[in-house]
Structure 1
Amino acid sequence: MAHIPQIKIPATYMRGGTSKGVFFRLQDLPAAAQQPGAARDALLLRVIGSPDPYGKQIDGMGGATSSTSKTVILSASKQPGHDVDYLFGQVAIDKAFVDWSGNCGNLSAAVGSFAVSAGLVDAGRVPHDGVAVVRIWQANIGKTIIAHVPISNGAVQETGDFELDGVTFPAAEVKLEFIDPAAEEEGAGGAMFPTGRLVDELDVPGIGVLKVTMINAGIPTIFVDAAAIGYTGTELQDAINLDPQALARFEAIRAHGALRMGLIGHVDEAAKRQHTPKVAFVAAPAAYIASSGKPVAAGDVDLLVRAMSMGKLHHAMMGTAAVAIGTAAAIPGTLVNLAAGGGPRQAVRFGHPSGTLRVGAEASEAGGAWRVTKAVMSRSARVLMEGWVRVPGDAF
């Protein structure tokens, strides 16, 4: 019996922020996968090892969490004033689909580094020593990200002493600027607050009426007060992820919020759009022990935030959700801002399950409408492995 051999595809396995993913140059993908569609999705599913009914992704590169079931496709930019086009695919673990509806802020930290190393940035714009300013076009949401990539002796510097809670080892700091981060989501009219209000009442069957802040910035996000759903904001992963009823409640909030935000036409459609929107709950500062055992004092943070990603509580914080947090914190009257004590602010440090993170945002109001020109945070990135991934030749 004849068997289809495996094929080799050039790829790089990278950590970006608190996520990991498989990075490809568009030109290196098989011809059938160089265009969006079923062939590309099938290929990426096989690379990552999905769908896996065991939920482990043993037969692929995925790590069986939302933070490690990710793919990135990069190419020289077709957008004026940009260096690289960045397309992100969130691969479902136990289902056969790839969600292209949003960005990954954590992996954004690795995009600039990969682009420089892969020759996607004009060599004349890369100093021998210093910082390369890489202009990234985020193709999923049509936004600009500026990555400040450290360069040493003509190559990307990956080692350093920058520490990021949720990442075990220090590395070189990569500063990211998310320019005009209010997401232009279909159905939301490009509005930062799709309903026009900073706080809404959301009626969720089985839960009741909740006050929520729904914002399109970085990634569409629904914020709710922790106390309103029975939490303190100090919870770690197991407190949520080992409670099936809690997970169902968060999914109900997400589905009804997505409908209210205009992202879907019926609550049933939320199941096919797992990556967006996100749901997060916020609380005033309080002391807790992070997942690493590190104590976080109430005075270390401005507020507490816990966020759901792909149906589970995230082990740290998604980069795009951090943009949403920083943006909402900068606008007086949102639930995020109120949890942080209220009033105008240009930066916020929040506590998450793995520790703390600082994010800044520049907000202004004109004619009753809020606008954020950019959000800023620091992450780190590192190549873990490079070479080829192999998949059966008939996998796509």
Structure 2
Amino acid sequence: MSKPQIKILATYMRGGTSKGVFFRLNDLPPAAREPGPARDKLLLRVLGSPDPYGKQIDGLGNASSSTSKAVILSKSQRPGHHVDYLFGQVAIDKPFVDWSGNCGNLSAAVGAFAIHSGLVDSALLPQNGHADIHIWQQNIGKTIIARVPISGGQVQETGDFELDGVTFPAAELPLTFVDPADDEGALFPTANLVDKLEVPGLGSLDATLINAGIPTIFVRAGDLGYRGTELQGDINGDKAALARLEALRTAGALKMGLIKTPQEAATRQHTPKVAFVAPPTSYNASSGKTVAGDSIALCVRAMSMGQLHHAMMGTAAVAIATAAAIPGTLVSEAAGGAANRLRFGHPSGTLLVGAKAGQDASGNWQVQDVSMSRSARIIMEGWVRVPEECF
């Protein structure tokens, strides 16, 4: 006889332009409270993966990299932090959970969930105003500060802040990514602002390889035969183009020292990201509205889990802001010069970002912090059910 389903406390949240299933660590079954196969199998089943049909019909995933995500939170034991945040990018058609990076969009929902779920002492919250929730991002070992709006002692989720890529307005939630460069390596892993990449099918390409927010490979859109105004339908149905972009990602990952062999790229799908940039150009966003070229500093398109992203990953936005603030990168080149604050165009519209960057005594570039505003809200909370035998 088959075993029955079990139920686990869970919350389904939107953060920025992503959605994910949020858990408190201690609410998970004991076998899944530690990293390993049991945890991965549980999250795969919750999201409905692996699904050879690519639809995640039998789970909470929505068949895109933006919606096949899981978050595990616990009270932080780290001084100066309220909550520890662990992110898992769940593959759709493969039995794989990638723990190699952060989700910047879901970072916007972490502070709110921590308050909602009792992980933050209510005595620390104002009756009205804002609560600065200090988050320890476990995947990358970095601090994120979420400025969560509070009304009547509760998280304020509704408001009039509009975020391109999200249909309905909500409360504005500013985020600060503190010292987002990788502690284990330089901001520029090769020590160069621009490198040459030899990519099968594409030839020799200029690339800015940066590790801020998430490891990212920036190239010129024109070098790929693009304008930088593409939407998902222009790229995601082109298998040959996707293969070339994956070859570019693999070449960049090797150059950055993230993998040792090309074969390892398949086991590290979430990182690095590939983004292509172009000077500001007017285009029609996926919603149909016109993005005027004179309203943005540059156009950026980014790949996530093998597909063109429908908007912009929050972590990639950190990389964009950082590279834009540093003269000589391909991002600042596309923007017409370095800027500490700028608005860029993406497939769903635009995003305003800011970065504080400078050089140390040795001339090495460092980034102090990156800021942007997102929004977040609870969509559903209760119990998620999975077959007990799944993990």
- TM-score surpassing 0.5? yes
2-structure distance, mates of 1:103, 1:183: 12
Give the count of matched residue pairs: 390
Identify the residue that residue 344 of structure 2 maps to in structure 1: 350
Q: Does 1:122 align with 2:121?
A: yes
Identify the residue that residue 387 of structure 1 maps to in structure 2: 382
Secondary structure in 2 aligned to 1:338?
helix
Secondary structure in 2 aligned to 1:66?
coil
Q: Does 1:322 align with 2:321?
A: no
> Please, which of 254, 262, 277 is the counterpart of residue 257 of structure 2?
262
2-structure distance, mates of 1:198, 1:102: 22
Identify the residue that residue 158 of structure 1 maps to in structure 2: 157
Identify the residue that residue 218 of structure 1 maps to in structure 2: 213
1-structure distance, mates of 2:18, 2:382: 20
Task: Report the Cα offset of residue 124 of structure 1.
Answer: 2.0
- Where structure 2 has 5 or more consecutive residues not aligned to the other structure, the ranges are none
Q: Does 1:71 align with 2:70?
A: yes
1-structure distance, mates of 2:294, 2:377: 31
2-structure distance, mates of 1:205, 1:306: 21
2-structure distance, mates of 1:127, 1:117: 14
AA at the equivalent of 1:4: K
Identify the residue that residue 89 of structure 2 maps to in structure 1: 90
Deviation readout 1:301-349 (Å, 9 max, x if unpaired): 000000000000000000000000000000000000000001x321111
Identify the residue that residue 30 of structure 1 maps to in structure 2: 29
2-structure distance, mates of 1:313, 1:300: 23
Identify the residue that residue 335 of structure 1 maps to in structure 2: 330
Task: Report the Cα offset of residue 76 of structure 1.
Answer: 0.1
Task: Report the Cα offset of residue 89 of structure 1.
Answer: 0.1
> Please, which of 294, 310, 324 is the counterpart of residue 305 of structure 2?
310
Identify the residue that residue 364 of structure 1 maps to in structure 2: 358
Identify the residue that residue 239 of structure 1 maps to in structure 2: 234
Deviation readout 1:185-232 (Å, 9 max, x if unpaired): xxxx42100000000000112210000000000000000000011000
Task: Report the Cα offset of residue 123 of structure 1.
Answer: 1.7
Secondary structure in 1 aligned to 2:177?
strand
AA at the equivalent of 1:214: L
Task: Report the Cα offset of residue 183 of structure 1.
Answer: 2.0
1-structure distance, mates of 2:56, 2:245: 24
1-structure distance, mates of 2:285, 2:226: 16
- Contact in 1 for aligned 2:297/2:344 (Cα 8 Å): yes
Identify the residue that residue 168 of structure 1 maps to in structure 2: 167
2-structure distance, mates of 1:3, 1:100: 31
- Contact in 1 for aligned 2:200/2:244 (Cα 8 Å): no
2-structure distance, mates of 1:135, 1:196: 31
Task: Report the Cα offset of residue 125 of structure 1.
Answer: 1.5
1-structure distance, mates of 2:333, 2:258: 26
Secondary structure in 1 aligned to 2:66?
helix
TM-score by length of 1: 0.98
2-structure distance, mates of 1:395, 1:3: 11
Identify the residue that residue 20 of structure 1 maps to in structure 2: 19
AA at the equivalent of 2:168: F
TM-score by length of 2: 0.99
- Contact in 1 for aligned 2:198/2:204 (Cα 8 Å): yes
- Contact in 1 for aligned 2:47/2:60 (Cα 8 Å): yes
Identify the residue that residue 299 of structure 1 maps to in structure 2: 294
- Identity, % of aligned pairs? 71
Task: Report the Cα offset of residue 368 of structure 1.
Answer: 1.6
AA at the equivalent of 2:76: S
Identify the residue that residue 373 of structure 1 maps to in structure 2: 368
Secondary structure in 1 aligned to 2:159?
coil
Identify the residue that residue 271 of structure 1 maps to in structure 2: 266
- Where structure 1 has 5 or more consecutive residues not aligned to the other structure, the ranges are none
Q: Which moved more, 1:354-363 or 1:121-130?
A: 121-130
